[in-house]
Amino acid sequence: MILGGIDEAGRGSVMGPLVIAGISLDCEGISYLQDEGVVDSKKITPSKRERLYPKIISCAKSVYICRIEPKTIDFYVNQNKLNILESKFMTIISDNLNADKIIIDACDVNLVRFKNNIVQNLINNSVKIYCFHKADSDNLIVSAASIVAKVTRDRQIEKIEKKLNEQIGSGYPSDPITKIFIKNNIKNTLIKEYVRFSWNPVKCILAELTQTKIL
């Protein structure tokens, strides 16, 4: 029996991609990662995530990662369909994992609806799909997927900083560095591909700047 897990990183960010990762493991791999102390990515430090990442990749039976850029996210958010966007990519990942059963950390409050959005579009009808809330905390395989997603996203943020030659923080609206960066650079065309303009914090910054110009 090969089990899979899928999770995302960056859903609530105002900058950078949304990353969705899927991995599959056999019993030996699960036991190995359990001994290595794999838990939900939010419960461990960035350095430990980096240390665990290659170990997860090395023992996985399969890995599939999708990166969704801000422009695509904005398109779906403006239609109030972010959950649909996630389900589409989780379907793609499910079809590309070598797994008999896949556990998914669901973003939709309605688990049945979210599962149906995935199952009805699967090409591989033999795989069994299970959707749960907080699966990244309750299931080791999903925890491992959360680490892969988080490390992948963090590395993308680092690449963005190198391209812009400036610190942008974590990309989350609660991060002071991110807020200052967006406020100082929101009109800079060079950052447009990295910012989610459909997010309320970004809209508020734009509104404040517009109001300041009027005054």
pLDDT at 208: 80
Residue 102 pLDDT: 98
Q: How many domains does the chain have?
A: 2
CB 48 within 8 A of CB 54: no
* Inside any domain, residue 155: yes
- Do 134 and 53 sit in the same domain of this protein? yes
pLDDT of 1 above 60: yes
Compute the average pLDDT of residues 103-128. Answer: 96
Q: What pLDDT is attached to residue 214?
A: 47
Section 124-151 average pLDDT: 96
- Assess whether 46 and 32 both reside in one domain: yes
State whether 12 and 114 are in the same domain. yes
* Distance (Å) of CA 196 to CA 15, 53, 126, 142: 6, 27, 37, 26
- In CATH, what number is assigned to the domain containing residue 177? 1.10.10
Q: What is the mean pLDDT of residues 106-135?
A: 95
Kindly tell me if the per-residue pLDDT of 85 is higher than 90: yes
pTM, entire model:
0.94
Cβ neighbour number for residue 43 with a 10 Å cutoff:
11
Co-location of 30 and 74 in the same domain: yes
Do residues 8 and 92 share a domain?
yes
For residues 80 and 50, membership in a common domain is answered with: yes
- Which pLDDT value is given to residue 98? 95
Residue with tokens 């979210």: 114
Q: Are 110 and 177 in a shared domain?
A: no
Is the pLDDT at 39 greater than 90? The verdict is: yes
Q: What is the domain extent for residue 181?
A: 164-210
CA pair distance 178, 85, nearest whole angstrom: 25
The pLDDT value recorded for residue 187 is 85
Do 39 and 139 lie in a common domain?
Answer: yes
Residue 215 covered by a domain: no
User: CATH no. for residue 140?
Assistant: 3.30.420.10
What pLDDT does 215 receive?
Answer: 44
* pLDDT of 74: 97
Q: Does 50 lie in the same domain as 37?
A: yes
Does one domain contain both 199 and 118? Answer: no
Q: What percent of the chain has pLDDT over 90?
A: 91
Q: Given pLDDT bands bounded at 50, 70 and 90, which one contains residue 212?
A: low
Burial class (CB in 10 A: 0-12, 13-18, 19+), 174: exposed
pLDDT, average across residues 135-148: 96
Do 183 and 156 have their domain in common? no
Please give the average per-residue pLDDT across 34-55, as a whole number. Answer: 96
Q: Convert the pLDDT of each residue in 58-76 to its tens digit.
A: 999 999 999 999 999 999 9
Judged against a pLDDT cut of 90, whether residue 209 lies above it is answered with no
Residue 114 belongs to a domain: yes
| Mean of all residue pLDDT scores within the chain | 95
What is residue 137's predicted lDDT score, i.e. its pLDDT? 92
DSSP for 189-209, please give it: GGGGGGB-TTSHHHHHHHHHH
The verdict on residue 19 lying in a domain is yes
Determine the pLDDT at residue 207.
Answer: 86
Residue 68 belongs to a domain: yes
